Structure 1
Amino acid sequence: MIKNIFLLPSKNLTLTIPLVLLTGFMVGLQVDTSAFKQYVLPVSILMIYPTMIGFTLGEVLRLTNKRLLYISLAINFLFIPSLAYLLGNLFLQQQPGLFAGLAVAALLPTSNMTIAFTMFAGGNVAAAIQMTVLSLITGSLLAPWYLLLMVGKYIPVNVLEVLQTLSLVVLLPLVLGILTYRLLLKKYTVQEFQKKFKPYLPAACAWGAIYIIFTSISTNSHKIVSNGHVIVVALLVQLLFYAVNYLGVIKISRSFFKREDGITLVYSTALRNLSISIGLAATAFGADAALMVSLAFLIQGQAAAWYLKLIERHPVVGDCCRAGCQLK
């Protein structure tokens, strides 16, 4: 019974997130939940830590399939931040907190969903693992400077504070995750780890996300009531962000990569690390930024599932064109 309750949120994210948003909104109208904000940073660290268990230093340092890696890095740190900057300037200039949330999510690519969906779709899982870790580390190093350029004129950006926060919510869990995995492998085989521990890690992360999403929406409840149109605009911006992202990357994947690598490229660029993003947004930029990332939770999982169904029904999606294959 307890096991089923623990696993329930991670197995039903598309239902869980809207329920948490609605519950947080209703509670926030009746109760002052601002005290919850002081625990956002430690909860963020505890939320990210389980997602890092299972990585090894070899996966981080092993540079294979360099062409795929370089193009994914270019998309993640040139195309997607530019898209977020354009959308933010067009629609969110009057809401700098929301703009900051969009920018944070744009700068922290890939998640465990990247690896999972790549595996489900028959993509290059080894490349997905490497790109997940490398993109996350690269994003952590670049994010403070990108944020300063993207939203610095709209909202104060303390580069050192952002670096410190990223160190706590990314690097510390990564180191702890690698050490934990090493300790576990001294007692269990990789297969035993996958069976006994791996299924519970996303569930632990999901409960942390629930706390942060609840806190961000409940502390914004009164603002949402008085500025409901702002939330509608924010949601439309997120929809547009993901739509352009997917369409652009799918076009590139079909033109220059074989099916397996093309799938990996899409999932390693279209998906953002929302767990880390919401932790960073909440701690560095406040409830408005966290609310913007919360809205992305409503879209990202559904979009990834839709792409999976698309390539299952139409296998040509993800296949390279003749010209692309010849380039190989």
Structure 2
Amino acid sequence: MRVIEKVSAFAGNTFAYWVILFAALALFFPEGFTWIAPYISWLLGIIMFGMGMTLSSSDFKKVFSHPKSVWIGVVAQYVIMPFLAFVLAYGLGLPPEIAVGVILVGACPGGTSSNVMTYLARGNTALSVSMTAVSTLLAPILTPAITLLLASKWLPVSAGDMFKSVVTIVLLPIVLGLIVKALFQKLVEKSISVLPFISVIGIVAIVAAVVSGNKEKILESGLLILAVVILHNCLGYLLGFLAAKILKMNYEDQKAVSIEVGMQNSGLAAALAAAHFTPLAAVPGAIFSVWHNVSGSLLANYWGKKAEKHNILEDHQDNDNSTDFKMNN
């Protein structure tokens, strides 16, 4: 079991590298990954089931004890990212399929990777987990509604069918995960360390499937999509941080909101795009999955080191003050 735990921890810590590696392999050897495409929804369902097993009542206590902080993050999530997606799609004159794919990414809830990045950034991890949980539970309503509102300019959107899909591949698996945890708590607690490894496999497989099925279109318009994804993600971090700062949240909460807003459940976006639109519409979600893990790691590393330096300076100041006190006495 310890070996599996170590493998799972290693996979979680090197998540971004595996996504990049298999995206590249799928681009150059697509025939090895195209068979995964029919199972994208199942893979995402398994990831959401795992998320359900990691949640507990304490994750939702923040909603009731500090509702303002949680709802600021959730509202920022569902306002900033869809707004940015629409502005980028319209302003850059993106082709319809790509525009819809970008808007789908913006309309999705926060991704579970944000919780890990917030922890590494020395942000408020409990707040991050609560925001992810609440935004995910709201996804069956808000994701189809926002997509209908913003994306119907480019392609027809069936909000009803999308609602069913989100319930099936997000809400039901999470509820099942919560039930399994409640019934078999001790067994789940023993196996919970393996879940990061399963999540990594699932996201890597989804990205590889989307990339392999769109090789020619990615080679043709991949740089444009990558540029849009980078802008979308980085502006999400920035505006999320500024929104939290303007609303006078503390620094740890600002970091949590910034990361939560910038990092999306892009696997869900890719799955919904593949199911309800065209394969090309799934590409922004796949590329976002690659990029936001890279940018999130860089941002978390910067904030984490900054917090570490701040703590060292505080320790030195405390020691100096202690020495001065002893000398004066």
Structures share fold, TM-score greater than 0.5: yes
Alpha-carbon distance in 2 for matches of 1:34, 1:300: 23
Which residue of structure 1 aligns with residue 92 of structure 2? 91
Name the CA distance, whole Å, in 2 between partners of 1:12 and 1:32.
23
Equivalences for 1:192-203 in 2 at 5 Å?
193=189, 196-203=190-197
Paired residues for 1:163-312 under 5 Å: 163-185=163-185, 187=186, 193=189, 196-225=190-219, 227=220, 230-255=221-246, 256-312=248-304
Aligned partner letter, 1:272: Q
Cα–Cα, structure 1 residues 116 and 232, in superposed 2: closer, same or farther, change >3 Å? Answer: same
The secondary structure found in structure 2 opposite 1:314 is: helix
Q: CA deviation at 1:291?
A: 1.5
Q: Please, which moves more after superposition, 233-242 or 297-306?
A: 297-306
Deviations 1:120-142 (A, max 9, x none): 33333332222111111223311
The percent identity for this pair of structures is: 19
Shift of 1:23: 1.4
Contact 1:41 1:279 in 2 (8 A): yes
- If the length of structure 2 is used for normalisation, what is the TM-score? 0.83
Residues 291 and 315 of structure 1: is their aligned pair in 2 closer, same or farther, counting only changes over 3 Å? same
Per-residue deviation, 1:57:
5.4
**What SS does the corresponding residue of 2:184 show, helix, strand or coil?**
helix
* Greater displacement, 139-148 / 5-14: 5-14
Partner residue in 1 for 2:149? 149
CA RMSD of aligned residues (A): 2.8
Instruction: Classify the secondary structure of the residue corresponding to 2:54.
Output: coil
1:164 Cα deviation after fit? 0.9
Judged with a 3 Å threshold, the aligned counterparts in structure 2 of structure 1 residues 33 and 14 are, in CA distance, closer, same or farther, namely closer
Report the counterpart of residue 106 of structure 2 in structure 1: 106
Larger Rg: 2
Work out the CA distance in 1 between the residues paired with 2:233 and 2:309.
Answer: 18
Match of 2:315 in 1: none
> By how many angstroms is 1:177 displaced?
1.1
1:325 maps to which residue? none
Write the distance in 2 (CA, Å) between the matches of 1:151 and 1:237: 16
Q: How many angstroms does 1:237 deviate by? A: 0.5
Aligned to 1:321: none
Kept in 1: contact 2:33–2:208 (CA 8 A): no
Q: Distance in 2 between matches of 1:105 and 1:297?
A: 10
Change (3 A) 1:310 1:253: farther
Looking at structure 1, the residues matched to 129 and 16 of structure 2 have their Cα atoms a distance apart, in angstroms, of 24
Could you tell me which runs of 5 or more consecutive residues in structure 1 were left unpaired when the two chains were aligned: 319-328
What corresponds to 1:19 in structure 2?
Answer: 21
Instruction: Give CA deviations for 1:169-211 in whole Å, capped at 9, x if unaligned.
Output: 11111111101211232x35xxx82xx3232112111212222
1: CA distance, partners of 2:304 / 2:3: 35
Counterpart in the other structure of 1:37: 37
Secondary structure at the residue paired with 2:64? coil
Structure 2: distance between partners of 1:158 and 1:250: 33
Deviates more, 1:148-157 or 1:166-175: 148-157
Match in the other structure for 2:323? none
